[in-house]
Structure 1
Amino acid sequence: MPVVQPLQHLLSMKELSPVQIFQLIEKAEEMNQQRVTPSYNGRFAANLFLEPSTRTKVSFQMAQRKSGFELIDLEGHESSLTKGESLYDTLKTLESLGVELAVVRQSRTGLLQHCASNLNLSLINAGDGCGEHPTQCLLDLYTIYEQFHSFKGLRICIAGDIKHSRVARSNAAALSRLGADVQFVSRPEWQDSSIADHYISMDEAVARCDVLMLLRIQHERHTHQEDTTTYLQQYGLTKEREARMGAQSIILHPAPVNRGVEIDHDLVESGRSRIFRQMSNGVAVRMAVIDSLMKGEL
């Protein structure tokens, strides 16, 4: 039998088998319970965020610091990318200077796969355009698993700007492979047939779902400004719709949340919302991913 090489990078959820996903969920739980404390003292990690980020960037910083790494945080305007240097050459420079782990967010779908093929450091995709966002997907999966302890047969609806969402793309593939029943809600112009052929209404979604995952409208990826004045009533989660959800159903959102657009203001911190729990879980999940990559355990 051929020898399976451990993953050096995490760029896509397609790289992870269900066994590896559960392995990361288990390790994240150990991190959350402080049963495992990684120690990478004296080793270097770099973060290169070329698109705005709050939750992902800060939770990676927290995860790296808790793991003992020395951090190098690069903004795009501070690097030689502004002088025409390629992302690959920037990463190769960091590697040459002793960086062992790089976390990158940038706008070109698939660019990181191209860069990774000749790198010795470990690379984590923190979002690539409309491509994927694997660690966001993993923290979503962990939060769902905390609540239901299984994915098999779970009814999950992802609602919002599907076409431009790397979160939807990563979650759709992973949840289906884990045995969940995944449905989608979206405006016709934001639907994506490469993710799903069939879309349901928000009223259908709230009547059937165990997990409702809401998405932000990604105006920055649209070619023109969208009118969202009626979006909440047509496609969002109103208080009236939330009242028709099942007793055990939960609400997720990768954030940032546009209160009053995709979700009623009062529901963001309601009893069934797990939005801030997702954020909290992001630190443990990213610690688990980093530790697993560094140890060659994936």
Structure 2
Amino acid sequence: MTQTIFSDEPAKGWIPPSIAAPFIGIFILVISMLPGDLLLENFGFTDSRGEPLGPLGFCLMLASFVAMGLGVFAWVRWVEKRSLASIGLRGKGRLRKFLTGLALGIVMMGAVVTAIALSGGYRVEDLFPAFASPAALGWIALLLAGFTIQASIEEIFFRGWMFSTIMRRWNPTAAFVLTSAAFTFVHFSPRTPLLPLVMTFTFSIFACAWARRSASIWGVMGWHTGWNWFGGTGFDVPITGLDSGLPALVVKMVPVGPAWLTGAGDGPEGSVFTLAMLTVACVVLLAPARPRHGLGMEPAPAGQEP
């Protein structure tokens, strides 16, 4: 039986088998992003591991994410032949939902960093150092736009397209597990410790639960943006193992505690506090409850196009 998340609109094209969707998604990701990644490395904007070198490298990486977005849009339009509403780009109050998610992402990242500092994992070294450099503030503003594009495309790709595609052909459990496994796989590196990988899988479950509960991806797009941007610019610590190379917007934190507490080279995302917070958030979002309109959590009207 066909199950939908965002829209009951029938697909007019080919919906791949659920087990094939993650492999198709990874193929789309590779062929769309690899050329841009190779060019950035060739011109010295990323290192041999594909990590950006400074804020300019971060911004230029957006070209690869834009290519990734165009790749999945092309697949949805010409292969599956369904609308963008059916991959979560639907509903009323889209800007409000995005901005609410953005604020929550910033608050939750700030809460994690604060918890690490209070537990002795970080030492405060400097307050508002970015404000001493107008150039740094300009880059930080550009990175907000950049993370908006990067995080939004990741959500469209994984929680919008892949999650809804698997759901149409199988069941919610398979959609949660396969989508999260694929998301974790593309963030995998042999040097990544186990804790950040578990966190990545848990984050994807959290994002899938939010998308399903709200019947759109606008809110979780905003959350992902705020989380990445504030984590990467607010405290002069890595985000997803990447360093922006900019002074901290709020407070410069110096890791002094164990890796399980601070996340070490993976930043706050590798901390047990992040894993605990996201686990609690998953339980809340997966528990039966009335939709909360403050988070843009109104279910899609059955059989209606927004």
Instruction: Give the TM-score normalised by structure 1.
Output: 0.25
Q: Which has the higher strand share?
A: 1
Higher relative contact order (CA 8 A, sep 6+): 2
Q: Which has the higher helix share?
A: 2
